Structure 1
Amino acid sequence: MPSSRPPPPGYYVPAVLFFDANEEFDVPAIKAHVLRLAQGGVTGILVQGSNGEAQHLSHDERKEAIALTRKTLDDNGFNNVLVIAGTGAQSTRETKKLCTDARDAGATYVLVLTPSTWPPQMTPENIIRFHREVADSSPIPTMIYNFPTVTAGLDLDSDIITALAEHPNIVGTKLSCGNIGKLQRITSRIPTSEFAVFAGRSDAFLHGLNAGSAGTIAALVNLLPKLHGQMYRLFEEGNHTAAISLQAKLGHGDWAASKVGGIGGIKAVVSKNFDYGEPHVRGPLKAVNIDNLAANKYYQTLVELIELEKTA
């Protein structure tokens, strides 16, 4: 198998997916969101990351969401914006199928979550075997998604990820664990040109870049794509003082976004401030009432950042 290239450095968004009151796709809102993110300069869009409610979708819906994202980008001249598809499933067999589906629907890379139904069975050896078997089968390059919060506490360490990076079709990782030490151990062993390590949270964006990361794939980008682009440019220009100041703001924003109601909260904030979409989610997740946002003490932090976003 020839060696695959990792995704380019930059800032990516695990996009939320909008539904109507019947929990069906709200296609106009999905397209509006994809377009605003692309206009905000994102390097790529992750469809069906944890914010995209992948586990609540059928296989056909997953393919439809990927294809809709790719078509929206292409129809509006954003052919250069990558599409990454989350392909997490609880069996190796299903994960392999989702990788093929993602390729067929227009994704360039897939992000693979480790199965977690049986945590005691997921030994380091079994985790490595799973990811290697998926990568052997996948028609497009794979990335490892490490997010202990949604995998029953399974937290892949730097030894596991470094071992997996040796596979020619495994080209990167998203570290939503927020562990900068782990990130730096990986980047110090493998160049970004061979294996891209992305911080999975905005509060680790600059710290990850300083530790050698390729950038970030973070939920807050749903609200603030332009500010994340500004952060990335400040780092590249060596403007450390301004970068540190903006990173502090993004850190507070990351915390605030986690306190307004999860995925439903992010949708509610988008709906209230950008005039598209509604905060519907698929059960058992809970929607957030837009009218109640003002009573949430963290919401004002996001409002202040969105005001900066709109003038960026």
Structure 2
Amino acid sequence: MTSPSPALVPEPGVYVPTVTFFKPSTSSSARQAPLEIATQCLHSVHLAKNGIRGLVLMGSTGEAIHLSRTERFELLSGVREGLTEAGFPDYPIIAGVLTNSVDEALEWLGDAKEAGAQWGLVLAPGYFGGVANQENLLEWYTLVADASPIPILLYDALDLVEFKALITEIRRYNYPGVTNNIMIGLETYTALAAHPNIVGCKMSHGNVSHHLQVSLDPAIDHSNFRVFSGFGQQLGPIVLFGAAGVIDGLAAIYPATVARLFELSAKRPVEPEALKEIQKLQFVVSRAEEKLGKWGIVGIKEGIYRVLNFGNMEGGRLPLKGSLPEGEWSSWNVAMDSMMEIEKTLQQ
């Protein structure tokens, strides 16, 4: 019997959880603003040209739950076509999978493969919160991975019970709500990392210890299981200790700067001059992330429009429609001006 081919593993680097662009609401009589795939492609190509290793489309930031099955497919396949036409035919695309049903998760994954995505980022099924214990999580992910037509990454969120001190700030810019505060345990990670069709994870929480323990676990084959953070604030520290990179929203606005921070942090050995630059960049990135993160999708979309002139300032689909309060963006000047100064020296 022929052994199955090894699963494709995402390369280390900075990935962007892209927003989904919509046309202005005044452009259509439809109930909701239609997709703007042309702008989606232009932004994707800009990221590809400026150091971003790959895209996460239709994740939480991409509002997948606000789109129909047809729209999700059109967006994924449209971006794949746009990247190919721009000279990036095999550019990495990870498709978000945000559903609690095993069969529906497999439906999303099948559609993602057909549309041209190489991986699926599968959110932990958190509708029933704490009822979904670690044994059930292990079985759920195993069933999905066994039948998925593409390799998958695990998508984790914050355990608010264990980290009560972080609740106020983290709830503003993280995604504990999308998994109802469920968290994949360390032993569960170790078990799932051994599955041949599970090739990594995104940890969207502030627990650096968990990032490091999974990244350094000697029981995990790290050439076949990549650990990514959802926080650019953690990029330097976690990459220096074995993580594969970040899936970071700030990089949607300032891709070259975040990519440069990764490049320096991943290089071995870390020379003294490089460490100084890492420290400088990490401070600037962390400061900007704190500002941007308070407003999540709305803040990222407005930042993309103001800095890169892609999209508009109408926010997402309901209930995420709207822009930042008057004067909010200008209050970020110290952080964002520092990012822009660096970005201009690096951008292609």
| TM-score range for the pair, normalised by the shorter chain length | over 0.9
> How far, CA to CA, are the matches of 2:135 and 2:333 in structure 1?
43
> How far, CA to CA, are the matches of 1:273 and 1:152 in structure 2?
33
Whether 1:199 and 2:229 are equivalent positions in the alignment is yes
Whether 1:4 and 2:7 are equivalent positions in the alignment is yes
Whether 1:77 and 2:105 are equivalent positions in the alignment is no
Alignment of 1:260-299 (within 5 A): 261-280=295-314, 281-289=316-324, 292-295=327-330, 297-299=331-333
Bigger-Rg structure (1/2): 2
Against the structure 1 CA distance between its residues 200 and 294, is the aligned structure 2 distance closer, same or farther, given a 3 Å change threshold?
closer
**Secondary structure in 1 matching 2:61:** helix
Against the structure 1 CA distance between its residues 303 and 32, is the aligned structure 2 distance closer, same or farther, given a 3 Å change threshold?
farther
The partner residue of 2:288 within 236, 239, 253 is: 253
The partner residue of 1:112 within 116, 122, 135 is: 122
Whether 1:152 and 2:180 are equivalent positions in the alignment is yes
Q: Match for residue 179 of structure 1?
A: 207
Against the structure 1 CA distance between its residues 2 and 78, is the aligned structure 2 distance closer, same or farther, given a 3 Å change threshold?
closer
Alignment of 1:179-258 (within 5 A): 179-189=207-217, 190-235=220-265, 236=267, 238=270, 239-258=274-293
> How far, CA to CA, are the matches of 1:2 and 1:28 in structure 2?
35
**Secondary structure in 2 matching 1:51:** coil
Alignment of 1:90-129 (within 5 A): 90-129=100-139
> How far, CA to CA, are the matches of 2:250 and 2:324 in structure 1?
19
Once the two structures are TM-superposed, the CA of residue 290 in structure 1 deviates from its matched residue by 8.1
1:205 maps to a residue whose letter is L
- Which stretch of structure 1 is more off in the superposition, 278-287 or 106-115? 278-287
Whether 1:162 and 2:190 are equivalent positions in the alignment is yes
Against the structure 1 CA distance between its residues 98 and 39, is the aligned structure 2 distance closer, same or farther, given a 3 Å change threshold?
same
Once the two structures are TM-superposed, the CA of residue 100 in structure 1 deviates from its matched residue by 0.5
Gaps spanning 5+ residues in structure 1: where?
none
Q: Match for residue 36 of structure 2?
A: 26
> How far, CA to CA, are the matches of 1:165 and 1:191 in structure 2?
8
Once the two structures are TM-superposed, the CA of residue 76 in structure 1 deviates from its matched residue by 0.5
Whether 1:51 and 2:61 are equivalent positions in the alignment is yes
2:342 maps to a residue whose letter is L
> How far, CA to CA, are the matches of 1:204 and 1:152 in structure 2?
23
> How far, CA to CA, are the matches of 2:18 and 2:257 in structure 1?
16
| Residues 139-177 of structure 1 deviation map (CA, whole Å, 9 limit, x = unaligned) | 110100112312111111211111111111001001111
Preserved contact between residue 37 and residue 79 of structure 2 (Cα < 8 Å)? no
- Structure 1 vs Structure 2 CA RMSD: 1.7
**Secondary structure in 2 matching 1:50:** coil
Preserved contact between residue 301 and residue 311 of structure 2 (Cα < 8 Å)? yes
Q: Match for residue 340 of structure 2?
A: 306
Preserved contact between residue 187 and residue 197 of structure 1 (Cα < 8 Å)? yes
Against the structure 1 CA distance between its residues 276 and 2, is the aligned structure 2 distance closer, same or farther, given a 3 Å change threshold?
closer
Q: Match for residue 42 of structure 1?
A: 52
> How far, CA to CA, are the matches of 1:292 and 1:90 in structure 2?
39
Give identity over the alignment, percent.
Answer: 32
Once the two structures are TM-superposed, the CA of residue 10 in structure 1 deviates from its matched residue by 1.0
1:138 maps to a residue whose letter is S
> How far, CA to CA, are the matches of 1:185 and 1:232 in structure 2?
20
